[in-house]
Amino acid sequence: MSYTALARKWRPRRFDELTGQEHVLQALSNALATNRVHHAFLFTGTRGVGKTTIARILAKCLNCETGMTATPCGECASCREIDEGRFVDLIEVDAASRTKVDDTRELLDNVQYAPTRGRYKVYLIDEVHMLSAHSFNALLKTLEEPPPHVKFLLATTDPQKLPVTVLSRCLQFNLKRLSVGLITERMKYILGAEKIAFEPAAVRLVAQAADGSMRDGLSLLDQLLAFGGGEASETAARAMLATVDRKQVVRIAQLLGDGDPGALLEYARALDEWAPDYGDVLDALATLLVRVAMKQALPAFEGDELHPAELLAELAAQLAAEDVQLFYQTAILGRRDLAYAPDPRTGFEMTLLRMLAFKPGGAEPLTAGTTTAAQPTSPRGAAAQGSTTRSSASRGGVTSGPLALADWGAALAALDLGGAARQLASNCTFVGREGALVKLALDPAQAMLRTPALVERLAQSLTRHLGENVKVEITIGETALETPARAIERAAENSLENARRSLESDPTIQAFQEKFGATLRTDSVKPNH
């Protein structure tokens, strides 16, 4: 007995068997229930999302011998003949192969005649955008004044190529791409009905490769079953699709969290023996980071077949939330720039190094005995220098005494904080300390910075530098004290004002103003740090 492809065998025959496209099905069901069926429908969307399938089901709905209904019986002669592709009053046309005007005229010559068997004569024209301009003109005449016994069902992947005169005479339904989750669940149902062993991760990989098309997904699933000897395993799916093992992507994420560039590059270079598509590796890493961020934001998030909850919980605890965001952004930008790299592997390695280079606090610390020629002059530079020196001293075993929390600006300069966590701390003032509890007040304008993850990072930094476990409590409200961020801003404003006054009092500029009527544009003045 010949084998029937899964995409053909499991093609939906009723509206309730369709996956997704509920917005289309509801409109068609209501039209059939109220007997308000338009004479021309246009179904648009990418390949494999159900355009012609919906059109064929609609043809059954119109011609079912039990009556016009959204739930055709599937048993009568009309329904069976439509399913088998031999219903005389369903005329299916592939516009890609019949583009000439003579073909269209020949097709439409019989429109005026009543249907032979069914209630309606249905014309299903696939890839209708391939018709020539003259063919569209011939079709337009019939669409303008159609006989009452004729329905036109048009399908296309490129509706922009249709004349507006045709579009205006059709009810247009745009079918959306199917989500990975919907395709996964449908394929699991089919595999279960076929009594085929499968691994959920393998089905998920195939669903991702389907790129929104159910038909492509089922074709790939057929290919996987042939490749895997009748089973759908994750190992076979990755080999067939040439995707990197998820354990390797997880290890990359773990090494990024460790912050060791040597170990990270060594592991990345070891991937080369598998000849991976480095763009796919970055895609997989970005996908993993999205799931980790969701786990951090929503602890109840259960993950999916490729990213189980226990794995996500482990990575969510290891990676800081701000690092996850940075790594994700760097991954997708690195994916885009791979085409400009000397070679894909080089671009991949540089992307990983960039993640560590831009990681808050990720710069190489000063080694023991290293000195600097001059202290930074700006408040921001002083804070950064203090952070590096303090971090180096603590790693080298040098004890500089406890932080003076009352002088919060000086204390902040010593903390090994970066990114959003430093921004949070710099917009706070010190309120007081009660045992292990450090109390801070946050500027109300920066209230969005008070997230559990950032507060925890601040507490961890204080714990390291105080040499004892502390917790941080941050309230939102104005205080009489000035925040370090406001001090930096005020210093910049004073510097700018001094620069403007210096220019205004400069004899040369005053002479230009007197002799030539020159005007000093103070809004363009910038302080010289």
pLDDT of res. 99: 61
Given the structure tokens 């005649």, which residue do they identify? 113
Whether 231 and 280 share a structural domain = no
pLDDT of res. 186: 93
Look at strands 150-156 and 121-126 and give their pairing: parallel
pTM for the full model? 0.57
Structure tokens at 17: 């068997």
Whether 410 and 435 share a structural domain = yes
Q: How many CB atoms lie within 10 A of CB 345?
A: 16
Task: Round to whole Å and give the CA distance between 427 and 446.
Answer: 7
Mean pLDDT estimate for the chain: 84
Helix count (H) and strand count (E) of the chain?
A: 23, 8
Q: Point out the domain boundary residue: 213, 241, 269.
A: 241
Q: Does residue 306 contact residue 246 with C-beta atoms inside 8 Å? A: yes
Q: Does residue 519 contact residue 513 with C-beta atoms inside 8 Å? A: yes
Whether 225 and 314 share a structural domain = no
Domain assignment present for residue 468? The answer is yes
Read off the CATH number of the domain in which 184 is found: 1.10.8.60
Q: Is 481 left (phi over 0), alpha (psi -120 to 50) or beta?
A: beta
Domain assignment present for residue 364? The answer is no
Q: Which helix (H) or strand (E) element contains residue 201?
A: helix 200-209
Look at strands 437-442 and 428-434 and give their pairing: antiparallel
pLDDT of res. 371: 33
Whether 282 and 339 share a structural domain = yes
The upper half-sphere exposure of residue 160, i.e. CA atoms within 13 Å in the direction of its Cβ, equals 1
Task: Round to whole Å and give the CA distance between 354 and 337.
Answer: 13
Task: Round to whole Å and give the CA distance between 137 and 85.
Answer: 28
DSSP assignment of 28-64 equals HHHHHHTT---SEEEEE-STTSSHHHHHHHHHHHHH-
Read off the CATH number of the domain in which 77 is found: 3.40.50.300
Domain range for 224 is 180-241
Whether 335 and 463 share a structural domain = no
How buried is residue 265: exposed, middle or buried, by Cβ count under 10 Å (0-12/13-18/19+)? middle
Structure tokens at 511: 């002479």
Domain assignment present for residue 376? The answer is no
Q: Point out the domain boundary residue: 219, 241, 263.
A: 241
Task: Round to whole Å and give the CA distance between 239 and 382.
Answer: 53
Task: Round to whole Å and give the CA distance between 201 and 243.
Answer: 13
Task: Round to whole Å and give the CA distance between 262 and 333.
Answer: 22
Whether 165 and 189 share a structural domain = no
Whether 264 and 353 share a structural domain = yes
Read off the CATH number of the domain in which 468 is found: 3.30.300.150
pLDDT of res. 1: 54
Task: Round to whole Å and give the CA distance between 465 and 462.
Answer: 5
pLDDT of res. 523: 63
Read off the CATH number of the domain in which 315 is found: 1.20.272.10
Domain assignment present for residue 474? The answer is yes
Whether 29 and 170 share a structural domain = yes
The amino acid present at 46, given as its one-letter code, is: T
Whether 277 and 311 share a structural domain = yes
Instruction: For the chain, 529 residues long, give each residue's pLDDT as a single digit of tens.
Output: 577 889 999 999 999 898 888 999 999 999 999 999 999 999 999 889 999 999 999 999 999 999 999 999 999 999 999 999 899 999 998 887 766 666 677 777 788 888 988 899 999 999 999 888 888 888 888 898 889 999 999 999 999 999 999 999 999 999 999 998 999 999 999 999 999 999 999 999 999 888 889 999 999 999 999 988 888 998 888 888 877 778 889 999 999 988 888 999 999 888 887 778 899 899 999 999 999 999 999 888 888 888 888 889 989 988 999 899 999 999 999 999 998 999 999 999 999 999 998 877 554 433 333 333 333 333 333 333 343 333 333 333 333 475 678 888 888 888 888 778 888 999 999 999 898 899 999 988 888 888 888 899 899 989 888 888 889 999 998 877 888 888 888 888 887 777 777 777 777 777 777 776 777 666 665 655 4
Counted domains in the chain: 5
Whether 251 and 346 share a structural domain = yes
Task: Round to whole Å and give the CA distance between 186 and 175.
Answer: 17
Domain assignment present for residue 375? The answer is no
Domain assignment present for residue 374? The answer is no
Residues in Cβ contact with 321 at an 8 Å cutoff, skipping those fewer than 6 apart = 293, 296, 297, 451, 453, 454
Kindly provide the residue ranges of all beta strands, DSSP E only, lying in 139-184, ordered along the sequence: 150-156, 171-174
Residues in Cβ contact with 503 at an 8 Å cutoff, skipping those fewer than 6 apart = 509, 520, 522, 525
pLDDT of res. 305: 81
Domain assignment present for residue 447? The answer is yes
Q: Point out the domain boundary residue: 148, 174, 200.
A: 174
Whether 28 and 169 share a structural domain = yes
pLDDT of res. 196: 92
Domain assignment present for residue 363? The answer is no
For the chain, how are helix, strand and coil distributed in percent, rounded to 5? 55, 10, 35
Whether 228 and 306 share a structural domain = no
pLDDT of res. 488: 83
